[in-house]
Structure 1
Protein backbone atom coordinates (compact mmCIF):
# COMPACT_ATOMS: atom_id res chain seq x y z
CA UNK A 1 0.00 0.00 0.00
CA UNK A 2 1.16 3.50 -0.77
CA UNK A 3 2.85 5.51 1.95
CA UNK A 4 0.09 7.73 3.29
CA UNK A 5 0.99 11.41 3.01
CA UNK A 6 -0.94 14.65 2.44
CA UNK A 7 0.58 15.33 -1.00
CA UNK A 8 -0.44 11.95 -2.41
CA UNK A 9 -3.91 12.11 -0.84
CA UNK A 10 -4.45 15.59 -2.29
CA UNK A 11 -3.30 14.46 -5.75
CA UNK A 12 -5.71 11.51 -5.69
CA UNK A 13 -8.53 13.81 -4.58
CA UNK A 14 -7.72 16.33 -7.34
CA UNK A 15 -7.75 13.48 -9.85
CA UNK A 16 -11.17 12.38 -8.58
CA UNK A 17 -12.52 15.94 -8.89
CA UNK A 18 -11.19 16.31 -12.43
CA UNK A 19 -12.71 12.99 -13.48
CA UNK A 20 -16.04 13.97 -11.88
CA UNK A 21 -16.00 17.22 -13.83
CA UNK A 22 -15.34 15.66 -17.23
CA UNK A 23 -11.56 15.33 -17.58
CA UNK A 24 -10.57 13.19 -20.54
CA UNK A 25 -10.90 9.51 -19.68
CA UNK A 26 -10.03 6.67 -21.98
CA UNK A 27 -8.66 3.44 -20.55
CA UNK A 28 -6.72 2.61 -23.72
CA UNK A 29 -4.91 5.99 -23.77
CA UNK A 30 -1.76 5.98 -21.63
CA UNK A 31 -2.27 9.61 -20.60
CA UNK A 32 -6.02 9.49 -19.99
CA UNK A 33 -6.46 6.10 -18.29
CA UNK A 34 -6.53 5.30 -14.57
CA UNK A 35 -2.78 5.75 -14.03
CA UNK A 36 -2.53 8.44 -16.69
CA UNK A 37 -5.00 10.70 -14.91
CA UNK A 38 -3.16 10.36 -11.60
CA UNK A 39 0.16 10.85 -13.42
CA UNK A 40 -1.12 14.17 -14.75
CA UNK A 41 -1.65 15.39 -11.19
CA UNK A 42 1.62 14.08 -9.78
CA UNK A 43 3.91 15.06 -12.65
CA UNK A 44 2.06 18.09 -14.07
CA UNK A 45 2.53 16.58 -17.55
CA UNK A 46 -0.31 16.68 -20.05
CA UNK A 47 -2.14 13.54 -21.10
CA UNK A 48 -0.61 13.90 -24.55
CA UNK A 49 2.95 14.15 -23.15
CA UNK A 50 2.38 11.09 -20.97
CA UNK A 51 1.02 9.15 -23.92
CA UNK A 52 3.91 10.23 -26.15
CA UNK A 53 6.46 9.14 -23.51
CA UNK A 54 4.71 5.79 -23.12
CA UNK A 55 4.71 5.16 -26.86
CA UNK A 56 8.53 5.22 -26.91
CA UNK A 57 8.35 1.69 -25.47
CA UNK A 58 6.01 -1.24 -25.85
CA UNK A 59 3.01 -2.16 -23.78
CA UNK A 60 0.35 -0.70 -21.56
CA UNK A 61 0.91 0.66 -18.05
CA UNK A 62 1.16 -2.81 -16.54
CA UNK A 63 3.76 -4.01 -19.04
CA UNK A 64 5.76 -0.81 -18.70
CA UNK A 65 5.67 -1.11 -14.92
CA UNK A 66 7.12 -4.62 -15.20
CA UNK A 67 9.91 -3.22 -17.40
CA UNK A 68 10.44 -0.14 -15.19
CA UNK A 69 14.08 0.76 -14.66
CA UNK A 70 14.83 3.99 -12.79
CA UNK A 71 18.15 4.45 -14.57
CA UNK A 72 17.00 3.70 -18.13
CA UNK A 73 16.65 7.33 -19.14
CA UNK A 74 13.32 6.62 -20.84
CA UNK A 75 10.87 9.45 -20.18
CA UNK A 76 8.24 6.93 -19.05
CA UNK A 77 10.60 5.52 -16.42
CA UNK A 78 11.50 9.02 -15.25
CA UNK A 79 7.80 9.83 -14.94
CA UNK A 80 7.14 6.62 -12.97
CA UNK A 81 10.08 7.49 -10.70
CA UNK A 82 8.49 10.87 -9.98
CA UNK A 83 5.22 9.13 -9.10
CA UNK A 84 7.06 6.76 -6.77
CA UNK A 85 8.59 9.79 -5.04
CA UNK A 86 5.07 10.62 -3.81
CA UNK A 87 4.92 7.37 -1.83
CA UNK A 88 3.44 5.06 -4.44
CA UNK A 89 4.86 1.67 -5.32
CA UNK A 90 4.98 -0.11 -8.66
CA UNK A 91 2.32 -2.44 -7.26
CA UNK A 92 0.05 0.50 -6.37
CA UNK A 93 0.18 1.73 -9.95
CA UNK A 94 -0.51 -1.72 -11.36
CA UNK A 95 -3.45 -2.12 -8.99
CA UNK A 96 -4.80 1.33 -9.93
CA UNK A 97 -4.77 0.45 -13.61
CA UNK A 98 -6.71 -2.78 -12.92
CA UNK A 99 -8.68 -1.56 -9.84
CA UNK A 100 -7.37 -4.57 -7.99
CA UNK A 101 -5.66 -3.68 -4.69
CA UNK A 102 -6.91 -6.21 -2.10
CA UNK A 103 -6.70 -3.65 0.73
CA UNK A 104 -8.82 -1.15 -1.17
CA UNK A 105 -11.26 -3.77 -2.39
CA UNK A 106 -11.73 -5.03 1.18
CA UNK A 107 -13.29 -1.64 2.02
CA UNK A 108 -16.06 -2.18 -0.57
CA UNK A 109 -19.15 -4.31 -0.42
CA UNK A 110 -18.84 -7.65 -2.19
CA UNK A 111 -21.48 -6.56 -4.69
CA UNK A 112 -19.58 -3.37 -5.61
CA UNK A 113 -16.24 -5.18 -5.65
CA UNK A 114 -17.58 -7.83 -8.03
CA UNK A 115 -19.05 -5.19 -10.35
CA UNK A 116 -15.93 -2.99 -10.72
CA UNK A 117 -14.91 -2.37 -14.30
CA UNK A 118 -11.33 -1.16 -14.83
CA UNK A 119 -12.34 0.99 -17.80
CA UNK A 120 -15.41 2.69 -16.34
CA UNK A 121 -14.97 6.31 -15.22
CA UNK A 122 -17.46 5.96 -12.34
CA UNK A 123 -15.75 2.82 -11.05
CA UNK A 124 -12.33 4.49 -11.22
CA UNK A 125 -13.72 7.43 -9.26
CA UNK A 126 -15.24 5.11 -6.64
CA UNK A 127 -12.01 3.10 -6.35
CA UNK A 128 -9.93 6.28 -5.96
CA UNK A 129 -12.37 7.69 -3.38
CA UNK A 130 -12.04 4.50 -1.36
CA UNK A 131 -8.25 4.62 -1.71
CA UNK A 132 -8.01 8.29 -0.70
CA UNK A 133 -10.24 7.67 2.33
CA UNK A 134 -8.11 4.71 3.36
CA UNK A 135 -4.87 6.69 2.95
CA UNK A 136 -6.31 9.65 4.88
CA UNK A 137 -7.36 7.41 7.78
CA UNK A 138 -3.96 5.72 7.77
CA UNK A 139 -2.14 9.07 7.77
CA UNK A 140 -4.29 10.40 10.62
CA UNK A 141 -3.73 7.30 12.73
CA UNK A 142 0.02 7.37 12.11
CA UNK A 143 0.33 11.09 12.79
CA UNK A 144 -2.19 11.83 15.52
CA UNK A 145 -0.86 13.45 18.64
CA UNK A 146 -1.70 11.29 21.64
CA UNK A 147 -3.68 12.91 24.39
CA UNK A 148 -2.06 13.46 27.76
CA UNK A 149 -3.95 10.50 29.22
CA UNK A 150 -2.85 8.21 26.37
CA UNK A 151 0.80 9.28 26.87
CA UNK A 152 0.56 8.67 30.61
CA UNK A 153 -0.97 5.22 30.05
CA UNK A 154 1.83 4.34 27.65
CA UNK A 155 4.40 5.43 30.21
CA UNK A 156 2.41 3.73 32.99
CA UNK A 157 2.14 6.94 34.93
CA UNK A 158 -0.82 6.96 37.29
CA UNK A 159 -3.54 9.24 36.01
CA UNK A 160 -4.61 11.78 38.61
CA UNK A 161 -8.12 12.95 38.22
Structure 2
Protein backbone atom coordinates (compact mmCIF):
# COMPACT_ATOMS: atom_id res chain seq x y z
CA UNK A 1 0.00 0.00 0.00
CA UNK A 2 1.12 3.51 -0.77
CA UNK A 3 2.90 5.67 1.78
CA UNK A 4 0.24 8.01 3.19
CA UNK A 5 0.82 11.72 2.67
CA UNK A 6 -1.34 14.81 2.52
CA UNK A 7 -0.12 15.47 -1.03
CA UNK A 8 -1.18 11.99 -2.24
CA UNK A 9 -4.52 12.12 -0.45
CA UNK A 10 -5.27 15.54 -1.96
CA UNK A 11 -4.19 14.36 -5.44
CA UNK A 12 -6.48 11.32 -5.28
CA UNK A 13 -9.42 13.44 -4.11
CA UNK A 14 -8.79 16.18 -6.68
CA UNK A 15 -8.62 13.56 -9.45
CA UNK A 16 -11.92 12.06 -8.30
CA UNK A 17 -13.46 15.55 -8.12
CA UNK A 18 -12.26 16.40 -11.63
CA UNK A 19 -13.72 13.17 -12.99
CA UNK A 20 -17.00 13.80 -11.17
CA UNK A 21 -17.09 17.27 -12.75
CA UNK A 22 -16.69 15.92 -16.29
CA UNK A 23 -12.92 15.84 -16.92
CA UNK A 24 -12.13 13.94 -20.13
CA UNK A 25 -11.99 10.21 -19.42
CA UNK A 26 -11.03 7.32 -21.67
CA UNK A 27 -9.46 4.25 -20.09
CA UNK A 28 -7.54 3.34 -23.26
CA UNK A 29 -5.78 6.73 -23.48
CA UNK A 30 -2.62 7.33 -21.41
CA UNK A 31 -3.54 10.98 -20.94
CA UNK A 32 -7.15 10.53 -19.81
CA UNK A 33 -7.24 7.11 -18.15
CA UNK A 34 -7.19 6.51 -14.39
CA UNK A 35 -3.45 7.21 -13.99
CA UNK A 36 -3.47 9.83 -16.73
CA UNK A 37 -6.02 11.89 -14.83
CA UNK A 38 -4.00 11.49 -11.62
CA UNK A 39 -0.85 12.63 -13.44
CA UNK A 40 -2.72 15.66 -14.79
CA UNK A 41 -3.47 16.69 -11.21
CA UNK A 42 0.02 16.04 -9.86
CA UNK A 43 2.03 17.57 -12.72
CA UNK A 44 -0.24 20.22 -14.24
CA UNK A 45 0.52 18.67 -17.66
CA UNK A 46 -2.24 18.47 -20.25
CA UNK A 47 -3.71 15.17 -21.37
CA UNK A 48 -1.96 15.66 -24.73
CA UNK A 49 1.44 16.20 -23.10
CA UNK A 50 0.99 13.12 -20.93
CA UNK A 51 0.02 11.05 -23.95
CA UNK A 52 3.12 12.23 -25.84
CA UNK A 53 5.40 11.51 -22.86
CA UNK A 54 3.81 8.11 -22.19
CA UNK A 55 4.50 7.08 -25.76
CA UNK A 56 8.25 7.35 -25.09
CA UNK A 57 7.79 4.06 -23.24
CA UNK A 58 6.02 0.83 -24.09
CA UNK A 59 2.72 -0.50 -22.77
CA UNK A 60 0.04 0.61 -20.36
CA UNK A 61 0.79 2.40 -17.09
CA UNK A 62 1.15 -1.00 -15.42
CA UNK A 63 3.96 -2.09 -17.74
CA UNK A 64 5.53 1.35 -17.69
CA UNK A 65 5.62 1.30 -13.88
CA UNK A 66 7.21 -2.15 -13.84
CA UNK A 67 9.93 -1.00 -16.24
CA UNK A 68 10.48 2.31 -14.43
CA UNK A 69 14.10 3.42 -14.16
CA UNK A 70 14.59 6.28 -11.66
CA UNK A 71 17.88 7.40 -13.23
CA UNK A 72 16.47 7.70 -16.73
CA UNK A 73 15.32 11.10 -17.86
CA UNK A 74 12.89 9.84 -20.46
CA UNK A 75 9.63 11.75 -20.20
CA UNK A 76 7.57 8.74 -19.17
CA UNK A 77 10.00 7.95 -16.36
CA UNK A 78 9.72 11.52 -15.10
CA UNK A 79 5.93 11.05 -14.90
CA UNK A 80 6.31 7.76 -13.04
CA UNK A 81 8.88 9.31 -10.71
CA UNK A 82 6.31 11.96 -9.80
CA UNK A 83 3.79 9.24 -8.88
CA UNK A 84 6.39 7.37 -6.85
CA UNK A 85 7.49 10.59 -5.14
CA UNK A 86 3.86 10.94 -4.00
CA UNK A 87 4.24 7.56 -2.26
CA UNK A 88 2.81 5.18 -4.86
CA UNK A 89 4.50 1.87 -5.67
CA UNK A 90 4.36 0.14 -9.07
CA UNK A 91 1.70 -2.14 -7.55
CA UNK A 92 -0.35 0.89 -6.50
CA UNK A 93 -0.10 2.30 -10.02
CA UNK A 94 -1.31 -1.02 -11.43
CA UNK A 95 -4.15 -1.13 -8.91
CA UNK A 96 -5.25 2.42 -9.68
CA UNK A 97 -5.37 1.61 -13.37
CA UNK A 98 -7.28 -1.67 -12.89
CA UNK A 99 -9.14 -0.83 -9.62
CA UNK A 100 -7.89 -4.03 -8.01
CA UNK A 101 -6.44 -3.33 -4.56
CA UNK A 102 -8.34 -5.69 -2.27
CA UNK A 103 -7.93 -3.37 0.73
CA UNK A 104 -9.57 -0.52 -1.18
CA UNK A 105 -12.31 -2.80 -2.50
CA UNK A 106 -12.99 -4.12 1.02
CA UNK A 107 -13.51 -0.54 2.26
CA UNK A 108 -15.90 0.62 -0.48
CA UNK A 109 -19.13 2.17 0.78
CA UNK A 110 -21.56 -0.73 1.02
CA UNK A 111 -18.78 -3.31 1.29
CA UNK A 112 -16.63 -5.33 -1.07
CA UNK A 113 -17.45 -5.55 -4.75
CA UNK A 114 -15.48 -5.66 -7.97
CA UNK A 115 -15.29 -2.40 -9.92
CA UNK A 116 -14.93 -1.83 -13.65
CA UNK A 117 -11.60 -0.29 -14.66
CA UNK A 118 -13.16 1.78 -17.45
CA UNK A 119 -16.26 3.08 -15.66
CA UNK A 120 -15.93 6.70 -14.53
CA UNK A 121 -18.16 6.31 -11.45
CA UNK A 122 -16.16 3.29 -10.28
CA UNK A 123 -12.87 5.17 -10.68
CA UNK A 124 -14.25 8.08 -8.63
CA UNK A 125 -15.40 5.74 -5.87
CA UNK A 126 -12.08 3.85 -5.86
CA UNK A 127 -9.97 7.03 -5.69
CA UNK A 128 -12.05 8.50 -2.87
CA UNK A 129 -11.95 5.23 -0.91
CA UNK A 130 -8.19 4.94 -1.42
CA UNK A 131 -7.79 8.53 -0.16
CA UNK A 132 -9.92 7.72 2.92
CA UNK A 133 -7.78 4.68 3.74
CA UNK A 134 -4.57 6.70 3.39
CA UNK A 135 -6.02 9.50 5.50
CA UNK A 136 -6.96 7.06 8.27
CA UNK A 137 -3.44 5.59 8.17
CA UNK A 138 -1.91 9.06 8.31
CA UNK A 139 -4.08 10.08 11.26
CA UNK A 140 -3.06 6.94 13.18
CA UNK A 141 0.60 7.96 12.87
CA UNK A 142 0.12 11.47 14.21
CA UNK A 143 1.63 11.89 17.65
CA UNK A 144 -0.48 14.52 19.40
CA UNK A 145 2.11 15.09 22.12
CA UNK A 146 4.72 15.98 19.48
CA UNK A 147 2.27 18.33 17.76
CA UNK A 148 1.42 20.05 21.03
CA UNK A 149 5.09 20.41 21.98
CA UNK A 150 6.05 21.75 18.56
CA UNK A 151 3.28 24.36 18.69
CA UNK A 152 4.32 25.71 22.08
CA UNK A 153 6.19 29.03 21.96
CA UNK A 154 9.89 28.58 22.54
CA UNK A 155 11.64 30.56 25.22
CA UNK A 156 13.51 33.45 23.71
CA UNK A 157 17.23 33.06 23.81
CA UNK A 158 18.92 35.97 25.50
CA UNK A 159 22.16 37.04 23.88
CA UNK A 160 24.47 39.17 25.95
CA UNK A 161 27.26 41.25 24.51
Aligned mates of 1:134, 1:144 — CA distance in 2:
18
Q: Does the 8 Å CA contact 2:106/2:112 hold for their aligned counterparts?
A: no
Give runs of ≥4 in structure 1 deviating > 4 Å.
109-112
Residues 75-96 of structure 1: CA distance to partner in whole angstroms, max 9, x if unpaired? 0011111111111111111110
Which runs of no fewer than 5 residues in structure 1 stay unpaired?
147-161
- The reply to whether residue 141 of structure 1 matches residue 143 of structure 2 is no
Partners of 2:110 and 2:86 lie apart in 1 by: 30
Superposition deviation, residue 127 in structure 1: 0.5
The answer to whether structure 1 residue 46 and structure 2 residue 46 are counterparts is yes
| Alpha-carbon distance in structure 2 between the residues aligned to 1:19 and 1:109 | 18
* CA RMSD across the alignment: 1.8
**Structure 1 residue 6: Cα displacement:** 0.8
1:56 aligns with 2:53: no
Q: Would you say the 8 A contact 1:8–1:87 is kept in 2?
A: yes
SS at match of 1:117: coil
Partner SS state of residue 85, structure 1 = helix
TM-superposed CA distance for 1:107, in Å, is 1.1
1:12-161 to structure 2, matched below 5 A, reads: 12-108=12-108, 113-114=113-114, 116-145=115-144
CA contact (8 A) 1:15 1:41 kept: yes
1:30 aligned counterpart, secondary structure: coil
Matches of 1:22 and 1:110, distance apart in 2: 24
> How many residues end up aligned between the 2 structures?
146
Q: Deviations over 1:107-147 (max 9, x none)?
A: 13787523x1000000000101110111111111111416x
Unpaired stretches in structure 2, ≥5 consecutive residues: 146-161
